[in-house]
Structures are given as structure tokens and as C-alpha cells.
Structure 1
Amino acid sequence: MPYSQYLADRVSQFLNEKNVQFIAKKMMGGLLFMVDDKMYVGVNKDEIMARINPNIYEMSLLKEGCKEMNFTGKPMKGFVFLTDEAIDLDVDLYYWLQLALDFNPLAKSSKKRKSSKK
């Protein structure tokens, strides 16, 4: 299963209800949601990957269904995976989606810079 279309639809519904413009991009078998040209959340299989404020990262990991994102052997502070225990109910999913949305204006853009050749 590449990604849960049901979860993707729930994320889209949240953003539409908030009148937030977004772009959804298929990447590495998942679906990535971009807000203001910055990574917002992703849907990977049946989990949500969320980009939250690093200042609340440690506290967030204590919540049921929240775990560190670790692709390289080193956790990425500010990025969490959310399992079904954290996102099954809309109120719970919306909590995490709002945390990620609140952090988005503070997040650094990962835009690639064009090099200028002389």
C-alpha cells in the first residue's frame, strides 16, 4: 500500500475547511502536502508524518501514537510519525494538523537555490 487515500482525503478536508491553499505531491510512495512552498505533512502508508515546532517535539513524543521520524539512524527533531492511535478520531487528527499548520510560517523553506553562473 503506497499511501492511504482515506488519510489523504482527511488532510485535504482539514485544509479546505481552513481555507488553506496547498499542493499535494506524490513522493517516495507517499503523498506530501506543501503549504506556502514548505513541507507541511505527508501521508506514508497508514501514518501521517507531521512537521511540528521543535520546541514541543519532546513533549509531543509522550502522546499516544506519536513517534520520532528516523530514516537515517538519527531522529529528525520537529518531524514526527503519527499512528492510528494518534489520528483515528477527527478531533485528534485535527489537533496534529493544526500544530503543523501553526508551525508552517516559522518553518524554513527547503527550496533549492538556483546557482548563478558568471
Structure 2
Amino acid sequence: MAYDEEVAARVRNALSDLGDLREQKMMGALCFMVGDHMCCGVTGDALMVRVGRDDYEVALTKDYVRPMEMAGGRRPRGFVLVDPPGIETEEALARWIGRSRDFVSTLPAK
């Protein structure tokens, strides 16, 4: 699945303050890596958000959020997809990216 370049540009802009940011194409998505950890990404027109296992169930209760599903139907706990209405405004996008950044900041350095 291709990714929406407009959403990718918005994510790129929201993460522009990070010095250790890099982009990597994987699993048909564009992933944004922070400190060598996957932080968030864009798959299709949805935002892929890494919320971690502890926040996974809570994240799924939010509007326009669904489990991330990989090939073969596997659903990795800790990652959710936020559909376009859930990231319509820059504030909403920033909140979701902030959740992802907060989680990644708890991970040990690679």
C-alpha cells in the first residue's frame, strides 16, 4: 500500500525540531525513526502511531482509531492507525505524534 505524501509532509513538519529523525520506507509505509526507534508513520492516508502496549487499549477507544493490521491479519499491540478525520487539524496531528514521541522517549538507546 502506498502512503499519502500530503500526510507524510505534515508529519515531517511536525517532527522537524528533532535532530535524530530519519525516514524509512517499510511494510508499504513511510516510517519516521527517532533515535533508531520507529516513532510513527504513514500508511495509505492513515497515521500510524506507536503508543506502546500499556496505552494500546486506551488509544483504541478514541474516535477514528483502529488497530494496525499487518499482512496475514497480525495486529501488533502497541501500534494503532488514526484515520484522516482524527488528524484533520494540526493540533490533532500534533497530539497523536506527541503520544508517539512520549512513548519512544521511554525506550533505551540503540
SS in structure 1 of the partner of residue 63 of structure 2? coil
Does the Cα contact within 8 Å between 1:57 and 1:78 map onto a contact in 2? yes
Structure showing greater radius of gyration is 1
For 1:34, the equivalent position in structure 2 comes to 33
Partner secondary structure for residue 73 of structure 2: coil
Q: How many positions carry a matched residue from both structures? A: 108
C-alpha distance after superposition, 1:9-49 (max 9, x if no partner): 11111111xx2120011223321110000101111110111
Rounded to whole Å, the distance in 1 between the matches of 2:97 and 2:8 is: 12
> 1-side partners of 2:26 and 2:59: how far apart?
26
Partner of 1:20: 18
What value does the CA root-mean-square deviation take over the aligned residues? 1.8
TM-score, scaled to structure 2: 0.87
1:42-63 per-position Cα deviation (integer Å, ceiling 9, x unaligned): 1111011111132221111111
Which 5+ residue runs of structure 1 have no aligned equivalent?
A: 112-118
* Distance of 1:10 and 1:20 partners within structure 2: 14
* In structure 2, C-alpha distance between the alignment counterparts of 1:4 and 1:73, rounded to whole Å: 22
Q: Is the 8 A contact 1:38 1:108 kept in 2?
A: no
| Superposition TM-score, scaled by structure 1 size | 0.81
Q: Read off the aligned partner of 2:18 and give its amino acid letter.
A: V
Find the counterpart in structure 1 of residue 7 from structure 2.
Answer: 7
Seq. identity, %:
33
Q: Any unmatched runs of 5+ in structure 2?
A: none
